Structures are given as structure tokens and as C-alpha cells.
Structure 1
């Protein structure tokens, strides 16, 4: 797998990943206020947030899977297939266990407190949570426990990494041929055309049938999308041809993203009421626009990143190490703090400011504590070695460490 590749570092991908995580925190704060379902909700939903939230909906998680695949390439080129699999399990499985049994339970607890009026203590709830004996049905659907909630991304990333390790063991020449084919097909306008058509096809055909469940075993649209871009990132991470194509296509990509967003957001806003049902033709138009916005935004971000985000440094290293702990803790803080803040009767703008600032403060505080306590480091996705060792918290050199992102 060496055709048209470069071993140069990719600080642009790390900056993009860090930026996407910061957007994620703001997005999940927005989920507390937007009139969409979430674990807990503000008693005063803000309708105008819907088109704002839709600015990142189509591409945020897809971009993170792509960047994670690229980061895995840099790791895989230094390890055997078996070594890659062992490293991914060692880095991702302990945080999953911590999240399922420690981090996530407060989210489920406050969800049933708000939606079902549950009056039991957290300890009473926790006993039922870990034994799957609660039988709660918020929104009319059973609340499955124990659960991973926002850590679904880590579950999928671990699964995809293990599948990739198997492919590297059994079909490395096929992957090399696929990489060469991508470079031939994506060197010019194909970079905008072919991936966009692929994403549109998935959205038009699989999404209406399967939707998005985050349940791993039945999430076929999400798997077709996320594993494809994960593999795309892996195969193109070191390609100088594809990197140059992203740079050339950055401005047309913005135009495609803007047009796609405009159409998709207009349809979603127009038919946002429960009793408003668009025709099949309008639904298809919205899905096409979604796919165009999805790839246009990703291509633009990667193009501008490759052009301008060319330097690393101590700040990037610090933030790259920190985003996994940020990801693990942020949503639980939002749920717990949002629930209690809503009861204080503060002006909504002040309340939102406190929630945003408090979430970031909690993330940084958690990271600062975790990285200093040896026993906590692997539980939050950090290597057991000191932070000054020059490796990232996910076992990849800091300029391109893959990491998780939360759910929509």
C-alpha cells in the first residue's frame, strides 16, 4: 500500500478532529434546547435552533469516522494486523466499560425522572440499571440497560478497527488495489462527484428503510455510511494525490455544501410539524440535498484544513490528548447540569451560557485530573505512559490520533 503516498505528518486532521469535538459539545448543549428528543429537555424549547443544529447534522459524525480511519492508517503502518487489533481493544474497551457502568447511568436516571416522573433514588435506580430489571418506557419505547448512549461511536470505532485488522491480515493486496483505484478516480472532479453520489445513494435507498438506531446489530444505513468513510480515510490518509485534490476542490465543495444545506433545511423547516408530511418526491429531494451537503462540507473542511492547518505545536498536542476524556464526560455533565439548571428559573441566555461554560470547564478539569492519575488514564483512553511521552491518549502519535464522537 505504497502508491502515491507520503509519510508526512497530518496536523490538519488533528485540528479538524479537535474542532469537531468542540462543535460536538455545543451541539449537545443545543440538544437540551432544540425541540428534538433528548435525555432531558429545557421546559422552554427554542424552535429557531433547528436550522442551526442542522448545519452540522449531515457531516459531523461522518467526518469524524473518516478522520479516525485516517489516523488508524498511521498506526497500522507501524504494526501488524494483530498488533493493531490488540492496541484498539486496549485503548477503547476500558473506557467503554467505565462509561456503561459509571458515566452513562446518570443520563438514564435523569431521563426517567423527567419523562416518567421516577421518584426513586439514584441507588435504587442503579440496582435496576445494572441488572436490566427496570422495565422503563420513556417515549413509549423500552429503556435498555445497561447501555452505552453517547459512547456508541466508540463501540462502532472498535468494531470497524477489528474488521480492518482482519482485512489487513487476509486481503492487504486488495486494499492496496482499492487505494490505487481511489487515487485514479478522485484526482480531479471525481473527488466531488463520486463520493457525493455514493452518499446520496445510501441516503435515498438505505436510510428510509433502516434509519439510524446506534444499536450496532440493526444499524445498516449507519454501518454502510460510517464504515465506508472510515475505510476511505484509511486508504487515502497518505495519498498526496487525494490531498491535493481536496485542496483544489475546497471552494466548489463549499458551494455544493451551501446549496445542499439550503434545500435540506428548507424542507425540514417547512415540514417540521407532526401533522405535516412531505410528498415522496420532496422527501427524495431532501435526501439528495442531505448527501450533497454531507460530502460538500467534508470535502471543504478537509481541503481548507490541508491548505492552512499545516502546523502542530504544544496546544494541538494538549487538545489531541484531551478530546477522548472530553468526549467521555461531556454529555453526562450536560444532562445532569441541564436538569438542575432548568429548575432555577434563570434567564435562558444566562442558563445556556452557564451550561456551555460549565461543560467545557468539566471537560478540562476531568482531563487535568485523569492525566495525572495513573490508574485513571487507561479508563479515559489515555496511554499508561506519562503525558510527555509524545503519544496521544489513543495510542497514536499526537498529530493524528483517532478518537470517538458522540451520537446525534
Structure 2
């Protein structure tokens, strides 16, 4: 199995979370924001939503693809027991903690903004994604370990062969179209806490693993044909954006979603597969930032929306506030306080803790 570090996948994860933050901030300035539990600005920016309609069919599936790929690399030095323990610490613990302690914070801010009685509402909130991922790990680990054991089997060779053609990656869109036909979602872009979100995430997670498992053929294909995939996605987006109801439907949106993602994978593999100090920092920060961002975003809205300034300036100010405050919390609290690290998916540095304790004992002995 491939064991080389894939910096482009790390970059795509960072970029996808960054786009998620901007997407959530854009919702504040839409007239329907309150219907999905967001603070709503009195001044709407419906023009802002136009680029978001391009993002919203592939931003979440991309994260599930990347998560499946991440599991491939997590398995390379772990048996099934070690993997489940590691995923429990990395995903389940932050999910449970966030369910009871993090999502409630932004609900308090929501209630404060609208002068509602303050009530405690534990909920998965935006962390529903983590719950889904952990379930996928439990369901798919037996299959993935079987495939790992038969690394040179006929299935991998056949998969690698299929993925060497431009049509190969596109073929999997059939499964996503079947999901649309069976689940029949009312709105394609509603993923959170829906069966549509669960099954589309399941498929993306599964194929994300399989793409890395297939070897270099998939990556060479998306690198070679990236502009073809982006071109197809652009055409399908124009059809959807212009409201050609007789042509546009969720089956085509499934194809559009995957074409955007394959184009992004091709661009990432071509331009981003190299190490950097910035990536090393951001790849560690992005997970706790994701966990925190809704609370900070709502806090920014609480302070900035009442200001009598242009709504575009409000959008920019909330965006800057969200990113800056999230990274300040990460840098000066989560990164430095060991007891908080596992609650936000960070590794607890046991060696440094033990070394610090040892130094304290030594200093104490010297003073005696």
C-alpha cells in the first residue's frame, strides 16, 4: 500500500474547512437564515449567495472524500483495535464533548441576540459530520482491512485499471445518482442530519478510501483530465444557475458535484503536493477551528451586526473576526493546555508532560 505523505490531501482538507467557514458566514446575510438556526442580518446580501450555490453541491462531499482518504493513511501502521481506539480519541471524544459543551455555546449567543430566555440545548449541530464519520469507520473498517490484507488482489488491479481512464472516476457518479433516486431528498444541498447527508457521505467516504487504495492511476487521471472535469461541472452549474428546470435535476447535480471534486483533486495533486511550514501549522489547527467556528461566528455576528455599516463591510468584519479569534483560541489555549487537546481532536503530548513533571520534581529536590 502507498505510504508516501500526501500534502495535497492535507491542503484540500484545510481549504475545504476554510470554505465551510465562509459559507456559514454567508448564510447570516440570507433571508432564510433563521429557518436553519442562524442569526440573520436585517440587511441581506443575496448576491453573495450566487458563488455559494456553486460551492454547496460539493463542499461537504469533498470533506467526506478527504476523510476516507485520511483513514487509508491512518490504517497503514494500525490493526483494527488500534484504529478504533485512535478514531475514538480523534473523532468520537470531540463529538461527544462538542455535543454537550460546544454547540450549546452558539445557541446561547443565538438566544442572547434575539432576547430569548437562555436554555441549554445539547445538540450535534455542525458536528453532525463527526458523528457520521465515526459511524462510517465502524461500518466500513472490516471491508477496508480486508482490502488492505489483499493489497495485490484482482479487485485492486481492476480498480486501478478502471481509474486510469477519464470515464473511470466519473462512473462512480452512478452510485450517487442511485442515492438520489432511492432517498429522494427535497433539497440536494441539505446534508446536516438527513438520510441524504448520511448516504452521500457514506459513498464519498468509501470512494475516497478506494481512490487512494487504487494507487497512482486515479491521481494521474484527475491530474491529466482536471480541466475536462471542471468544464463539465461548469456547464452543469450554468444549467442549474440559469434555472433551466426542464434540464436541471438532482441526478445532474450528482455528476456536477463529483466533477468539481475531481477537478479540485487534479489541481491539488498538480500544484499542492509539497510540504510547507504553513501547511504543517494549518493542518493541525484546522480541526479545532472547525469545532469552534460556529460559536465564534455567532459571537462576531452579535457584536458586528448591530453596527450601522454597509452589510458588505459587516460580512468582511465577521469573516475576519471568525478566523482571527478562532486562531487566537487555538494558538494560546488549545495548543498549550494539554487537558483541552484531546477534547478538540489534538494529540496530547505525553512526553512533554512527563518531561515537565520530571523537571518540576528535579527543581523541587534541588531546592530541598
TM range (shorter): 0.7 to 0.9
The structural deviation recorded for 1:177 is 5.3
Is contact 1:179-1:236 (8 Å) kept? Answer: no
1:227 aligns to what?
A: 202
Residues 9-32 of structure 1, C-alpha deviation per residue, up to 9 Å, x if partnerless? 211111111111111111111011
Instruction: Give the deviation of 1:171 after TM superposition.
Output: 7.1
2: distance between equivalents of 1:178 and 1:359? 46
Corresponding position of 1:363: 326
Which structure 1 residue ranges, 5 or more long, are not aligned? Answer: 130-145, 271-277, 389-408
Match of 1:372 in 2: 336
Q: 1:183 — aligned with what?
A: 160
2:191 and 2:198 in contact (8 A); partners too = no
Where in structure 2 are there 5+ consecutive unaligned residues? 353-368
Aligned counterparts, 1:2-401, within 5 A: 2=1, 6-37=2-33, 38=36, 39-112=38-111, 119-120=116-117, 122=118, 125-126=119-120, 129=121, 146-168=122-144, 178-208=155-185, 212=190, 214-215=192-193, 219-238=194-213, 239-267=215-243, 281=246, 285-368=248-331, 369-385=333-349
Alignment partners' CA distance in 2, 1:370 and 1:159: 26
CA contact (8 A) 1:202 1:225 kept: yes
Greater CA deviation, 177-186 or 285-294? 177-186
Give the TM-score of the pair, scaled to structure 2.
Answer: 0.86
Q: Which has the higher helix share?
A: 2
TM-score by structure 1 length? 0.78
SS of the equivalent of 1:34 reads: coil
Q: Which of structures 1 and 2 has the larger relative contact order (alpha carbons within 8 angstroms, sep 6+)?
A: 1
In the alignment, what sits opposite 1:132? none
Supply the RMSD in Å over aligned alpha carbons. Answer: 2.6
Aligned equivalents of 2:186, 2:81: Cα separation in 1: 36
Q: 1:386, CA displacement in angstroms?
A: 7.2
1:350 and 1:169 map into 2 onto residues whose CA distance is: 51
1:88-107 deviation line (CA, Å, top 9, x unaligned) = 00111222233222221133
